[in-house]
Amino acid sequence: MDVRGAGRRAADPGGGERAGFAVTLLNHAVFDDPGNERSRRQLAGLYTRLGRAVENAVWRNFYLTAARELLHGVAPHATASLGPDMYLALTVGQIVDSMAVRVDGPRAWSLRILLDWHVEGTYWHLRLVNGLLTWTSDDRPAPDAALTMTMTRPQLLRLLAGEGTDGIAMTGDRSLLTRLLGVLEAPRQDFPIVTP
């Protein structure tokens, strides 16, 4: 079940199927012709109605954000970039995952980068192969790592913030770090939620 389906039932128990059908039809109309203002206004009206009727805050936020986007265009989303406090709360694995979704796959396709981050007693084995960044971790270095970087969590966060490698011990091919960081796209704050 998608979020819109669940919200329809919560917002309109008696006519949820009709509202759901209307949302589906109008959504197809908007995707077929994004410039059709009538379809956009009607879909925005349905999303506004659903957003005002639903009790779940996540669904309400989705519906009202969708309505705003349809009426006023894409607005920057505050969640598109994380502040320093949020990064401090993330595990190293979560930090690598946040990097993985930013890899420009076509640009990274031909790269094969095997590196280790040794962060406070744990080895994080990063692998960029076929445009995909993955990781594993354990307490031993990987024998095939072409670069090993030993650092603290604050040093890692400074590195990823673009503040350089001061104090980070590096063994191996330092150019791999530059190549890895070079295929990461900057997070977008203006991504569409419901429009093409």
User: Ranked by mean pLDDT, which of 11-20, 69-78, 83-92, 146-155 comes out on top?
Assistant: 146-155
Class of domain 81-182: alpha beta
Task: To the nearest 10°, report the CA torsion of 185, 165, 93, 139.
Answer: 150
The per-residue pLDDT for range 139-192, each reduced to its tens digit, is 999 999 999 999 999 999 999 888 999 999 999 999 999 999 999 998 777 888
Residue 191 · residue 75 · CB < 8 Å:
no
Which pLDDT value is given to residue 83? 64
What the block records as the tokens of 13 is 């128990």
41-57 tens-digit pLDDT: 999 999 999 999 999 99
- Check if CATH label 3.10.290.10 holds for domain 3-72: no
Q: What is the pLDDT of residue 187?
A: 77
0.75 surpassed by pTM = no
- What does the alpha-carbon distance between residue 64 and residue 48 come to, in Å, rounded to a whole number? 6
Looking at residue 79, its pLDDT comes to 54
pLDDT of residue 13: 41
For position 2, what pLDDT does the model report? 44
Q: What SS3 state is found at 116?
A: strand
Taking 50 as the threshold, does the pLDDT of residue 123 lie above it?
yes
Exposure of 185 by Cβ count < 10 A (0-12 exposed, 13-18 middle, 19+ buried)? exposed
Check residue 188 and give its pLDDT.
76
As a 3-state breakdown, the chain gives helix, strand, coil percent values, each rounded to 5, of 50, 15, 35
- Report the percent of the chain where pLDDT is more than 70: 88
Side by side, the strands of the sheet bearing 132-138 are 132-138, 122-129, 112-119, 147-151, 169-172
How many angstroms separate the CA atoms of 152 and 88, rounded?
12
Tell me the domain boundaries of the chain: 3-72, 81-182
Average pLDDT, the chain: 88
135 against 19, higher pLDDT: 135
For residue 188, the tally of other CB atoms under 10 A from its CB is 13
